Amino acid sequence: MESKSTTGPIANELGASQSGELPGADTSAVAPVVPTREALVRLRPIGLVNARVESDFWAERLRTNLERTIPHGASMLEACGNLTNFELAAGAEGRYHGAEGDGGNPAPFLDSDVYKWLEAVGWTLAQEERSELRPLAERMIGLAARAQRPDGYLDTFYQVAKPGDEFSDMEWGHELYVAGHLIQAAVAWKRGLGDERLLQIAERFVERIEAELGPGRREAICGHPEFEMALVELYRTTGERRYLELARTLVDRRGHGLLGSCRYGARFWQDHQTVRSAPEPAGHAVRQMYLDAGVVDVAVETGDRELLDAALRRWEAMQFSFTYLTGGLGVHHQDEAFGAPFELPPDRAYTETCAAIGGAMLSWRLLLATGEERFADMIERQAYNAILAALGPDGSSFFYSNPLMQRSTIPEVLHGIATTRRIAWPRIACCPPNLMRLISSLPDFAVTADSAGLQIHQFMSGTFSATIGPGAVSFSSRTEYPWDGVVDIEIETSIDEAWTLSMRVPSWCAKAVATFADGRLSGEGRDRIEIRRRWKQGDRLRLELDMSPRITSPDPRIDAVRGCVALERGPLVYAVEDADMPSGASVESLELADSPNVRIEAREAGESGEMVRLSFDGRLRSEAENPWPYRKFGPAMTRPSEPIRVRTLPYFAWGNRPGRGMRVWIPTQA
């Protein structure tokens, strides 16, 4: 038995002991990302059917997704004309239905929302049969089959609205982006249900794309990356290496000016520098995340260390100076893009939901490649904050943009992509079905396997199993996380040989202790706790994570929140809303007291379900009459203040009560 921390640099060790076939590696796992046996990765997904999440925080979200969000998505895809477009492409009479973008032109990527919905259903049905979803999915699959042209082409925007213009607008046409989401839906149905209908449709479309843009063909790339990571998964599913070669070709083409410069510059679509040389994330945040997810996939399947190092370099730069406290990504509203380093204003944060989802997808791939828990830390931060905040507790209302502050006096905005409250379906609806597929596959993030044992990355109640060496091992987990830091683990099945159970110690945790049921100390650690032994059925282990509240201060280079602090506990970022301020007061008037006395309040039921709140001592500034909002620096700047006790709530739960004001960062002085 031993306990140790093993996180460290990986770039020079990648795959050092991972050549050839890994014992226990399951290349048929039911999961969105399944590296081949030859891939240079340290960890393997155990798959959704081997990760049964039940009766906890995430189980409730999975149930809401299944019973409310996914059915709501089907209704909206019908109502908004996405399905009608497939009928038109199949020969029906009518005009293309498309949400118009800011330029007044119909959006060309609406097919992708149908495919994301189908992917969500594929992962869901793999875990639980739901008869009510089958007819909806069958109709959509049938529509896609009928809409596909004899030559394999399938994109309703070009088939209906712009016939004859296929592959003519690589900058804004999104054809490969749409094809990528078709592939990912096809992979979900193949892996999860053994259904190859979508896979056959996807392969025919890819064959048409290869004929136009493949190696040795026309040198072009898509303005919106996504196709690259989908192609790698298609290779992993079918064994057809030409899909991997096409993905590598597209990755290496980027950065050579093939897309030209748009009004936002070539950085917008990451075409300003090659993938191998770009030092930091740039441009449209979702595109950067999807691009680097594909870069990692290509790198581990081809053994390209330089390519992986490039993705790692950008991820590290992103974490250090481009990421919001919530894990949100992207500052600018106009171009949905990263700004300059440390340009992270809370009230003007764009932080598109899809960008946080893409960030989690990238971090998951880097976690599999390296085994480093810092990537699991980022997934946790984004899942509990930037991603979960986008979905209302009703399961059918959504934020597209997720700011860290909303002013009390802001006009009500219920249309567009920067609404002041969640709405049933945004005009550009990429985020809702993206949430559906992410939540459907979320249990896959919890546990991984390697030849030595199992690794717990995300703390969920359920049963988790995998094949290790000569047989199957499994354990059950019970926890009230994120409200409580206790995780109880019991071995359900084991093998005669020793194997390692590894548990992540989150970076926010000051102390973590693991003990056996008899009270014997089994380990302490900072990055992870590892216990190697001959486990037996019935062995019990308790992991205790220190979840004391934290007062977090920003890097002083983040000018927009200099002199402010935020409250955190466990994986959760906390916020203050107008609804918890004294009558007539707003969050703009709030300051932190010199001795805030932060306390954990009793667990309670709220508009967003059960939650644990924090409270602190603050000051309420008086807002004196002044015709000019600037004053001479000095004592006159200090305005009278009234002491108050302020309650906070988890950031993900904001926006469900009357009052518009909300803030995460709290000033410490006038």
Is the predicted pLDDT of residue 4 greater than 80, yes or no?
no
Q: How many domains are there within the chain?
A: 2
Per-residue tokens: 608 = 């967003």
Mean pLDDT value across the chain: 92
For the ranges 143-157, 293-307, 342-356, 513-527, the lowest mean pLDDT is seen at 513-527
- Structural domain ending residue among the three candidates 516, 545, 574: 545
pLDDT-based confidence at 359, cuts 50/70/90?
very high
Q: Is residue 636 domain-shared with residue 658, that is, in the same domain? A: yes
Residue 100 domain-assigned (yes or no): no
The pLDDT of 534-538, averaged and rounded, is 96
For the ranges 3-17, 24-38, 88-102, 568-582, the lowest mean pLDDT is seen at 3-17
Alpha-helical regions (H) of 37-130: 57-64, 70-79, 82-89, 111-127
Distance CA 166, CA 151 (A): 12
Q: Is residue 640 domain-shared with residue 657, that is, in the same domain? A: yes
- Structural domain ending residue among the three candidates 479, 513, 545: 545
Taken as a whole, the chain contains a residue count of: 670
The pLDDT of 382-397, averaged and rounded, is 97
pTM of the model: 0.94
> Using one digit for the tens of pLDDT, what is the confidence trace for 460-495?
999 999 999 889 999 999 999 999 999 999 999 999
Tell me how crowded residue 451 is: count the other CB atoms within 10 A of its CB.
Answer: 17
Residue 568 domain-assigned (yes or no): yes
Question: DSSP readout, 640-653?
Answer: PEEEEEEE-EEGGG
Q: Is residue 507 domain-shared with residue 569, that is, in the same domain? A: no
What was the pLDDT predicted at 659? 87
Is the predicted pLDDT of residue 260 greater than 90, yes or no?
no
What is the per-residue burial (b if ≥16 Cβ within 10 Å, else e) of 211-225?
eebbeeeeeebbbbb
Distance CA 450, CA 46 (A): 10
Is the predicted pLDDT of residue 16 greater than 80, yes or no?
no
Q: From its phi and psi, is residue 330 left (phi > 0), alpha (psi between -120 and 50) or beta?
A: left
The pLDDT of 292-297, averaged and rounded, is 98
For the ranges 132-146, 171-185, 425-439, 595-609, the lowest mean pLDDT is seen at 595-609
What was the pLDDT predicted at 9? 32
Q: Which domain holds residue 453?
A: 446-545
Helix (H, G, I), strand (E, B) or coil at 199: helix
pLDDT-based confidence at 106, cuts 50/70/90?
confident
Residue 594 domain-assigned (yes or no): yes
- Which of 19-33, 359-373, 512-526, 581-595 is predicted most confidently? 359-373
**Closest residue by Cα to residue 123 from 391, 361, 347, 436:** 436
What was the pLDDT predicted at 604? 86
Distance CA 61, CA 169 (A): 39
Alpha-helical regions (H) of 322-459: 353-370, 373-381, 431-440
Q: Is residue 563 domain-shared with residue 541, that is, in the same domain? A: no
Percentage of the residues of the chain whose pLDDT score is greater than 90: 83
What was the pLDDT predicted at 21? 40
- Tokens 């932190």 correspond to 592
Distance CA 40, CA 303 (A): 6
pLDDT-based confidence at 27, cuts 50/70/90?
low
**Closest residue by Cα to residue 202 from 225, 178, 222, 226:** 178
> Using one digit for the tens of pLDDT, what is the confidence trace for 595-641?
999 999 988 887 777 899 999 999 998 766 677 888 777 765 556 68
> Using one digit for the tens of pLDDT, what is the confidence trace for 187-227?
999 999 999 999 999 999 999 999 999 999 999 999 999 99
What percentage of the chain's residues is helix, strand, coil (to nearest 5)? 35, 20, 45
- Structural domain ending residue among the three candidates 545, 570, 604: 545
User: In Å, what is the CA distance from 197 to each residue of 145, 146, 635?
Assistant: 8, 12, 73
The type of residue at 346 is P
Q: Is residue 513 domain-shared with residue 591, that is, in the same domain? A: no
CATH code, 521: 2.60.40
- Tokens 């976690």 correspond to 367
The pLDDT of 318-327, averaged and rounded, is 98
Which residues contact residue 193 at a Cβ distance below 8 angstroms, ignoring those fewer than 6 apart? 122, 125, 126
> Using one digit for the tens of pLDDT, what is the confidence trace for 571-589?
999 999 999 999 889 999 9
Is the predicted pLDDT of residue 323 greater than 90, yes or no?
yes
Q: Is residue 569 domain-shared with residue 532, that is, in the same domain? A: no
Is the predicted pLDDT of residue 8 greater than 60, yes or no?
no
